[in-house]
């Protein structure tokens, strides 16, 4: 048996603690005799202050330390924001459950009451997400989208600071609802069909050890199958398109009552001048196939061309391998092992 205490790992930010507490409240409804103990864990991503540095640092920055604790059995359950979780998990770990998803939309929070479409030209809007910056530049080319790093409460403080140059910020609706459920912060929802959310946005991942059947059974009552299918499709397309925080890719799945799943992808160049939005629909029980079909569609419409602009240029070839005038390596630079053996023997004779 797992015992009466379940240690639950999570980041130590206010939002992470709030959403973990909400998950635990739901679990207690079904398991009142279990004692769930939160274990805040500081991650590498929490130590980075620059958005550019965060993008350079790679994937999994907000989950690696928590996953190590899970593998080392210091905790039995990890609670993450789904969009922080890389498309591929470490060996031995699985997503044990996905609770019902919250609103996946992005929202605009203005310094005053003015909506984003009414802001004067040159107004500054803060967001560190390349996806949001690229898509919003295509919609509002006269606005300035600037880097804004920090937790949600930090971003709101920067917006409200007396000398702030920001006219507004763009954040995830789910984060605002979870951290400030009764605060009444005025938000402007941005249409999901245009500002397509990040893969997994609004969803929570409950990560466990793959062999921990008891924990899987504990989580089963709060698992939401439709949310899980949508998230699986989103993460599969993200994996196929090399998406993440370094790629301006939005991908969002929506389930219907008749058992269908509509998956929408949006990719934009960083300047917002090129943008593509495509959708694909299939059955809810085969989300990976929908992602595969949508990958084919977006690649046909130019997704790889946009991605190629984002990849770093290959390093210059060293002088030792520089081709000669005829396009081949010069004789003086060829390896002796590459010379015909027959000629070498003839010289020795």
- Tell whether the model's pLDDT for residue 282 goes beyond 50: yes
The pair of three-digit structure tokens given for residue 278, joined into one six-digit string: 């495509």
Give the chain's mean pLDDT: 87
Q: What is the value of pTM for the model shown?
A: 0.83
For residue 87, what pLDDT is reported? 86
Segment 92-145, tens digit of pLDDT: 999 999 999 999 999 999 999 899 999 999 999 999 899 999 999 999 999 999
- Tell whether the model's pLDDT for residue 1 goes beyond 50: no
- Tell whether the model's pLDDT for residue 207 goes beyond 90: yes
Sequence-ordered list of residues with C-beta below 8 angstroms from that of 45, at least 6 positions apart, any chain: 54, 57, 61, 62, 84
Q: What is the radius of gyration, based on Cα positions, of the chain?
A: 25
Q: What share of the chain is helix, strand, coil (3-state, %, to 5)?
A: 40, 20, 40
State mean pLDDT over 31-53. 81
Residue 337, judged by CB atoms within 10 A of its CB (0-12, 13-18, 19+), counts as: exposed
- The active-site residue out of 84, 106, 258, 285 is 84
- Tell whether the model's pLDDT for residue 172 goes beyond 90: yes
Query: Is 258 a residue of the active site?
Result: no
What is the band of 56 on the pLDDT scale with cuts at 50, 70, 90? low
Segment 155-165, tens digit of pLDDT: 999 999 999 99
- Tell whether the model's pLDDT for residue 349 goes beyond 60: no
Residue 117, judged by CB atoms within 10 A of its CB (0-12, 13-18, 19+), counts as: exposed
Q: Which of 83, 303, 53 is nearest to 201 (CA)?
A: 83
CA distance 343 to 26: 80
For residue 336, what pLDDT is reported? 40
In the chain, what percentage of residues exceed pLDDT 90? 73
Task: Please name each of the domains of the chain with its CATH number.
Answer: 1-99+203-223 (3.40.190.10), 106-189 (3.40.190.10), 225-310 (3.30.160.40)
3-class state of residue 242 by DSSP: coil
What is the band of 343 on the pLDDT scale with cuts at 50, 70, 90? very low
| Lowest pLDDT segment from 125-134, 135-144, 228-237, 303-312 | 303-312
Higher pLDDT, 240 or 245: 240
């Amino acid at each position: 048996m797992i015992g009466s205490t379940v240690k639950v790992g999570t980041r130590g930010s206010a939002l992470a603690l709030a959403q973990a507490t909400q998950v635990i409240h739901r679990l207690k409804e079904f398991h009142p005799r279990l004692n769930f103990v939160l274990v805040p864990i500081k991650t590498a991503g929490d130590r980075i202050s620059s958005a550019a540095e965060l993008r350079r640092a790679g994937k999994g920055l907000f989950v690696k330390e928590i996953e190590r604790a899970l593998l080392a059995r210091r905790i039995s359950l990890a609670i993450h924001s789904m969009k922080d979780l890389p498309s591929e998990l470490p060996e031995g770990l699985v997503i044990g459950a996905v609770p019902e998803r919250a609103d996946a939309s992005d929202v605009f929070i203005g310094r005053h009451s003015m909506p984003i479409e009414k802001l004067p030209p040159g107004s500054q809007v803060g967001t560190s997400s390349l996806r949001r910056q690229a898509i919003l530049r295509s919609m509002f080319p006269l606005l300035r989208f600037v880097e804004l790093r920090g937790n949600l409460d930090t971003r709101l403080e920067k917006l409200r600071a007396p000398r702030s140059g920001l006219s507004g910020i763009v954040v995830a609706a789910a984060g605002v609802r979870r951290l400030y459920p009764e605060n009444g912060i005025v938000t402007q929802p941005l249409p999901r069909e245009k500002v397509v959310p990040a893969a997994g946005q609004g969803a929570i991942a409950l990560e466990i050890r793959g062999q921990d059947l008891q924990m899987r059974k504990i989580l089963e009552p709060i698992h939401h199958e439709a949310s899980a299918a949508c998230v699986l499709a989103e993460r599969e397309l993200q994996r196929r398109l090399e998406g993440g925080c370094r790629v301006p890719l939005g991908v969002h799945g929506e389930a219907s009552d008749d058992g269908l799943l509509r998956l929408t992808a949006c990719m934009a160049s960083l300047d917002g001048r090129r943008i593509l939005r495509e959708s694909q629909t299939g059955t809810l029980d085969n989300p990976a196939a929908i992602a595969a079909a949508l990958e084919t569609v977006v690649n046909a419409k130019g997704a790889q061309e946009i991605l190629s602009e984002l990849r770093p240029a290959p390093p210059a070839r060293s002088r030792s391998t520089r081709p000669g005038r005829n396009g081949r390596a010069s004789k003086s630079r060829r390896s002796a092992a590459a010379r015909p053996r027959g000629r070498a023997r003839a010289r020795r004779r």
